[in-house]
Amino acid sequence: MPARCRLRPFSSLAAAASARAPTHYLDCRHLLRSCKDLHSLLQIHARLVALGAASDDSIGPLLLNSYSTFHQSDSALSVFKSSPNSTVILWNSMIRCYTRTGEHNKAIQFYNGMVGRGIEPDKYTFTFLLKACTGALDSDTGILVHREIVRRGLQKDAFIGTGLVNMYSKLGMIDTAREVFESMQVLDVVSWNAMIAGLSQTGDPHEALAFFRKMQLVGEVPNSVTVLNLFPAICELSALLLCRAVHGFVIRKHLLPSVFNGLIDTYCKCGRTDIARKVFDGMSSSKDDVSWGTMVSGYVHNGCFLEALEFFDELTRENLKLNQVSVVSALSAAAEIGDLGRGIEIHNFAIKKESYLDIAVNTMLVTMYARCGDLEMAKSLFDGIQGKDIVAWSAMIAAFVQTGHPKEAVNLFREMLLAGIIPNSVTLVSLLPACAYLLNLKLGRSIHCYALKSKININVRVATALVAMYAQCGSFSSAHILFDALDHKDVVTWNALINGYAQMGEAGKALRMFYQLRSSGQQPDPGTMVGVLPACALLSCQDEGACIHGLVIRNGFDSDLHVKNAIIDMYAKFGDIYSAKILFFETKLYNDVISWNTMITGYIHNGLASEALSTFHLMRAENLKPNFVTLVSVIPAASYLASLREGMALHSYVIRMGFESHVLVANSLIDMYLKCGRLDYARDFFNQMDDRDTVTWNVMLAGYAIHGLGENAISLFSLMKDNCIKADSVSFLSVLSACRHGGLIAEGRKIFESMKSEYQVEPNMEHHACMVDLLGRAGQLDEAWGLIQRMPMTPDAGIWGALLGACRMHSNVWMGEIAVDHLVRLEPENAAHYVVLANIYAQAGRWADARKVRVAMNHTGLNKTPGCSWVEVNNTIHAFRVGDQSHPQYKSMCDLWNGLLEKMEKMGYVPDTSSVLHNVEEEEKLSFLHGHSERLAISFALLNTEPGMTIQIIKNLRVCGDCHTVTKLVTKITNHKIIVRDSSRFHHFEDGICSCKDYW
């Protein structure tokens, strides 16, 4: 309680009041009715006590009502107990007091005590009691009260009838509300308002509008409350024309200025912030704090987060009166764009204006800090909230989910239950995405059952969250059962299925659901576009994507930040990075971290790692603070370039910003070190992690696989089991891949067979492809062929590609021809399959067949992907293409290489030209081999590095056999260690030996 309201000793107040007491206490009644603050009330009460008037029958109820106005139910109860006469008016005042203070169950208990004492209730008692039943969401008591009203013959009273309509409406019993309404003999504007409000709030907007028309037909004139009650129905229908019509009605009828606040809100919820702003500007002197708060909230609702923050800045600059809605909405805007700096500014403002640091603002601060990446501050604020309500708990659960900590969200939910806090529908909406994140269908079903048993209101929002959870866990049958059972599906429910299909890779079904949505009469909203645009990207449907982009513009959704980012992401995934970049810069999204993240991810998707790193550095130069998503997006750029220098710089930044403990960031760092060839750094970091999830283990397993360390992978897999980490399909794929690269046939067979029998993981297409490759590499082609024949699914290109690779390795022509026959049908535009077959023919000396394959490629317009290699020297990455002679140091590189060749030949090196496609002169074949991109990169690095330094090369294709042999010899001659990361794995060359043991 503020200092000015602290209680002084009651006797001193009484003495002070007595000194200036009037001769009569009639003026005290007037003072009580006009009392504006608690301090004044306490002084008046003291004066009444001094006059001996506090126990007067006419003063007691006034005192009670005054205390209830300031939510002082304990003081009111003291007045009640000190009153000598127990009148019905006094009891009514106390019931009303508890209803006002939100202590609805106490109001009901007080009524029971009143009846028990023989005090006869009157119509006012029941009017207050119905409000208490409504506030307590107690339909059982409400029905009993209704029966008592009927028994006493009070149901015909207009006040009581309206109270019943209001109660049943708010308890969701709209049919009963309508029965009461139709049975009322006298209907006034208040009764009609209650019925319209009920229909609007319970999701029956068409009926609400019908009652609005019917009301006018019977001659009842709508008032300001009628229009305010009608606005939710207009919002639900997004009925802009109707909103304009009501706007005209408001002007013609000269309704109260407060209605214009409702108009602003309705226009915003119909997506027309421009009209809302005109209404706001036209209000001139009638603007109040609600008007400003509604406008800020409206901008946020429409995804206009920057406009919302600018509007809030105008408020603070003008020192205008603010309310809770303004502060909460501004914090929400900062959270949506991930702008921690702005969020902190608003937080500091709220601290200065102490009145705004209530539980609602604190709860939004939790959300803001979490969404901006400072989960530690969010949790600290949450822990500091006194008397946490269900809203605060739900916000913290949502914060954990949104920042990628689903396990913590589930644990907090359990903690909440232990604290005796009963979850509501908002809690479930916050928690269910954690199940989807964990792909834990069992947990999701348990929460669904809990909701049903606990009689939590399964409203449209909860049903939508359940649909989304089932869809994202892959249980589309359960999702559709729920979806089809909903009587009132809104666009958000449709969005849940569309997004679910898109996220699970079922892009075609997502698009079909989108078209069904449009044919159902529902209008898509920005959330629909956020789901359907990625579906277009997944299908590479550029024409479809352009059409939906046009639909976005026509509907005005392009002002929504999430939609803008989805469009940028779509064009990037189409490979149209130019359009993505133009949209990014033209829309001036410089203050939106999410947009920068999208652009960085787009560059990575298109193999433009250097541009991704440049964008990250530019983002920091713009004084935007990257969040954990930024780091998870940009760290792969260092991985792609195998730039340990950039990777370590990013790691340092991660440590400075306090993100090292974030499991997603940590997983990215491990992956980066592995792909930069520093397996030791990766394992050290892995061992230091306190919080490791399944993905962490999988990343480490995959690292051992690409480095060809099968035994290490198997050892880690066993350790994973000892640590009670449940292996998933990715875990098995990684360890099988490690066995494949390490030639561990028996171990691979054993692990593959244990998947279903021991771990209940069904082997999928990728696992079978891995086994085919494992067996094929080891020369077990017949066993690989048998495995393909026994597969429970139709082999895809990955299976036949693995078999073809084995045929190339072991020069099996006839099986290679079978594999290519299938591959040509499955992937007719993939030139690599033709190239491998041509190489098989070339190795077998069947040059005519090799030439036919080459001619077939030319006829179909297919071209082999040219080899390209990258090497980092003196902090600069240099790229070399096969046969490239444009480098300024090319002559020196050739001289160096020719010198090396002479030494190699003395060591017994004989070039392997068997895989060269053309049946040409040997000299030309040698020239072709020596122009391979990795040889150019090695020559350049040898020219420009100190003796003994490690050289690291990246190649976009698999290293050929001759280049592999040559690289081993180079390390023997020069004493350099050379690490080559090709499209398949790492090769660590040192002193004439490769880590793959010539098995790759």
Domain end, chosen from 631, 661, 691, is at 691
The residues facing 990 across adjacent strands are 993
| 920 within some domain | yes
3-state secondary structure of 499: helix
Chain-centre distance of CA 29, in angstroms? 57
Residue 13, pLDDT score: 40
Domain closes at, from 26, 51, 79: 79
C-alpha span between 404 and 358 (Å, rounded):
27
Q: Is residue 120 one of the residues assigned to a domain?
A: yes
Same domain, 952 and 971: yes
Q: How far apart are CA 295 and CA 155, in angstroms?
A: 42
Residue 162 resides in a domain:
yes
Task: Clarify whether residues 54 and 142 are in a common domain.
Answer: no
Range of the domain at 632: 590-691
606 belongs to a structural domain = yes
Please tell me the chain's helix, strand, coil percentages from 3-state DSSP, rounded to the nearest 5.
70, 5, 25
| Same structural domain, 73 and 98 | no
Cβ atoms of residues 325 and 294 within 8 Å: yes
CATH number for 644: 1.25.40
> In residues, how long is the chain?
1000
- Enumerate residues 6+ apart whose C-beta is below 8 A from 604: 612, 633, 634, 636, 637, 640
Encoded amino acid at 214, one letter = K
The amino acid at residue 386 is Q
Q: Is 876 helix (H, G, I), strand (E, B) or coil?
A: strand
| 69 and 177 together in one domain | no
For residues 92 and 62, state if they share a domain.
no
d(CA 699, CA 198) in angstroms, rounded, equals 54
By the 8 A CB rule, do 223 and 254 touch? Answer: no
The set of residues, in sequence order, having a beta carbon less than 8 Å from that of 601 and lying 6+ positions away, is 569, 572, 612, 633
Which stretches of the chain drop beneath a pLDDT of 50? 1-25, 917-924
Long-range contacts of 112-121, Cβ-Cβ distance < 8 Å, separation of 24 or more: 114/88, 117/86, 119/86, 119/87, 119/88, 119/91, 120/88, 121/88, 121/91, 121/92
* Residue 346 covered by a domain: no
pLDDT tens-digit series, residues 671-707: 999 999 999 999 999 999 988 889 999 999 999 999 9
Domain co-membership, 677 together with 645: yes
Question: Is residue 54 included in any domain, yes or no?
Answer: yes
Q: Please tell me the total count of domains within the chain.
A: 4
Contact 952, 960 (CB under 8 A): no
For 575-600, how does the pLDDT look when each residue is reduced to its tens digit (9 = 90+)?
999 999 998 887 655 567 888 999 99
Bridging pattern class, strands 868-873 and 876-881: antiparallel
951 three-class SS: strand
In a domain, 113, yes or no: yes
* Residues ≥6 apart with Cβ < 8 Å to 420: none
Examine the domain organization and report whether 47 and 159 are in the same domain: no
114 with 65, same domain: the answer is no
Residues 882 and 977 reside in one and the same domain: yes
Cα separation, 246 vs 81, whole angstroms:
50
Q: Are 393 and 416 in contact (CB under 8 A)?
A: yes
62 and 162, same domain (yes or no): no
Same domain, 68 and 161: no
CB 425 within 8 A of CB 461: yes
Identify the burial level of 846 via C-beta atoms within 10 angstroms of its C-beta, where 0-12 means exposed, 13-18 middle and 19 or more buried: middle
What is the rounded CA–CA span in Å between residue 766 and residue 745?
17
What Å distances lie between residue 854 and 517, 597, 847, 865, 940, CA to CA? 49, 43, 10, 14, 32
Could you write out the DSSP letters of every residue in 373-430?
A: T-HHHHHHHHHH-TT--HHHHHHHHHHHHHTT-HHHHHHHHHHHHHTTPPP-HHHHHH
pLDDT at 54: 61
Q: Which of 635, 668, 691 is a domain's end point?
A: 691
Q: Kindly state whether residues 61 and 161 are assigned to the same domain.
A: no
Report which residue type is found at 115. Answer: V
Query: Has residue 740 been placed in a domain?
Result: no
